[in-house]
Amino acid sequence: MSVSPPPPSAEAEPYDCGMLDVGDGHRIYWEVRGDPRGKPAVVVHGGPGSGCSPRAPRAFDLGRYRVVLFDQRNCGRSTPHAADPSVSLLHNTTDHLVADMERLRHHLGIGRWLLYGGSWGSTLLLAYAERHPERVTEIVVPSVTTTRRSEIDWLYRGVGRFFPEAWDRFVTGSGTGPDGDLVGAYARLVEDPDPVVRTRAVADWLAWEDAVVSAEGMGAPYAARPSAGQTAMVRICAWYFSHGAWLEEGALIRDAHRLGTLPGELVHGRLDLGGPVHTAWELARNWPGARLSVVESAGHLGGAETLRLVRAATDRFAA
């Protein structure tokens, strides 16, 4: 492992990286940026299935943090990759990912670490923290979700009232009616033996995701991904959401008391149509150590004010 810390900038290259065998034929990619002697933090990416982003370390002063990034099972640089239709997702569940995080922490010799992540990443890090609170120093979450079935139903049905044209196309692509199991239908379509069916389902799913964030002025971030990344993310998203992420409905909010006074900084956009701020408010109400900041002008993807608040939190926790 290298001992020469890079300069404290978000563009610094990883000073260490590797592939970790986590069992079931899976190997997850990991990398570390920042100061090898700094405060340990781990970035838990969203999606599920998006892969880690090299932009994520912007949330940290890399002169004071040792930031771990990793690609969750079947995505990013982890293997086997879900872009291959023959790859099974059976050993890719929330429990598997929580266990992978623990293996990675142990592999890197980290006793306790700060958890950072938004969207699906907040679901996974909350599941991890509620099972292993003794391994967590603080939590920072931009864009809170807990992947309850009610939240999934809102994202793929309820919010359609704001984008009726796009939602009608999404429903049509599912092959079901508006009252059908849309997510379940897409989970089947992306596993279809016909590549034309799979490709169309991926495109229809991503078009809907982009429609939901279209008012945030950031283009079409989901459709802009490389094709292999698109396929992997949609397969994994549909797999997780069609199973309610294998979580008891409402359990993460119900059990937030397990985090006690563990410091948490929650930052959520008032204009997040896909994940309304109510979930963040519920979580903060049930977690004594959490503080919620609502950014009036931000949506799900955040922005300059979201980043400022997140960075202020990590700077404070670094001290």
Q: Catalytic amino acids?
A: 119, 272, 300
The dihedral region occupied by 236, where left means phi > 0, alpha psi between -120 and 50, and beta the remainder, is alpha
Hey, which residues does 292 pair with through a beta bridge? Answer: 266
Distances (CA, A) of 318 to 35, 59, 64, 113, 313: 12, 12, 7, 11, 9
Distances (CA, A) of 85 to 74, 79, 234, 242, 288: 11, 13, 12, 18, 44
Distances (CA, A) of 8 to 1, 57, 132: 18, 10, 30
Three-state DSSP at 104 gives: helix
Alpha helices in the chain (DSSP H): 94-107, 120-131, 149-156, 164-174, 182-189, 195-212, 227-241, 251-254, 278-286, 304-318
From 54, 40, 59, select the one nearest 11 (Cα to Cα): 54
Which structure tokens are listed for 309?
């608040």
H or E stretch covering 295: strand 290-295
H or E stretch covering 53: none
Three-state DSSP at 258 gives: helix
Residue for token digits 């890399």? Answer: 62
